[in-house]
Amino acid sequence: MTSNLQSAQTQKIETPRPTMRVYAPRVDVVETDDALTLYADLPGVKQEDVSLTCKDGELILHASCLPRHVGKKLLYSEYGIRDFYRAFKVTEKVETGRIEASLKDGVLTVRAPKAEAVRPKRIAVNGG
């Protein structure tokens, strides 16, 4: 696989503060000829609480998530509510200035267009 968006880490999660406990969101990443698209499940996250940083070839996703149902008694729980954090190493050349992101129904979509230099080009063959 000529993979480019490689996982910086899946098991070990580096956080700004080592003591901060976070969840790594589930993601899908799809590569096309002209872009890399990342879909991340961020249930319960509001648009203003998502931060995406592209620095030194790393795409860092951090989303803060506040506790819900404060003041009620928790009876049963199959998941916790914490911040989401995950970092990806972007080895493919992408145009960082043109990365677009949107959040809908708890799914974050990040589209990173590839730099012109790495896009496959179709070369026209001229008949003689």
Least distance (Å) between residue 125 CB and other proteins = 26
Helix or strand run (H / E) with residue 87: strand 83-90
Q: Judged by CB under 8 A, how many residues of this single chain contact other proteins? A: 38
Q: Is 91 exposed, middle or buried (0-12, 13-18, 19+ CB in 10 A)?
A: exposed
Does 71 contact other proteins by CB under 8 A? Answer: yes
Q: Which residues of 94-123 are buried (b: 16+ CB within 10 A; e: fewer)?
A: beeeebeeebeeeebebbbbbeeeeeeeee
Interacting stretch for other proteins, rule CB under 8 A, among 14-22, 52-60, 69-77, 93-101? 69-77
Interacting stretch for other proteins, rule CB under 8 A, among 1-9, 13-21, 53-61, 115-123? 1-9
Write the binding mask 2 to 41 for other proteins: x where contact by CB under 8 A, - elsewhere: -xxx-x------------------xxxxxxx---xxxx-x
CA 46 to chain centre: 15
| Residues in contact with other proteins by the rule CB under 8 A | 1, 3-5, 7, 26-32, 36-39, 41-46, 68-69, 71-79, 103, 105-107, 109
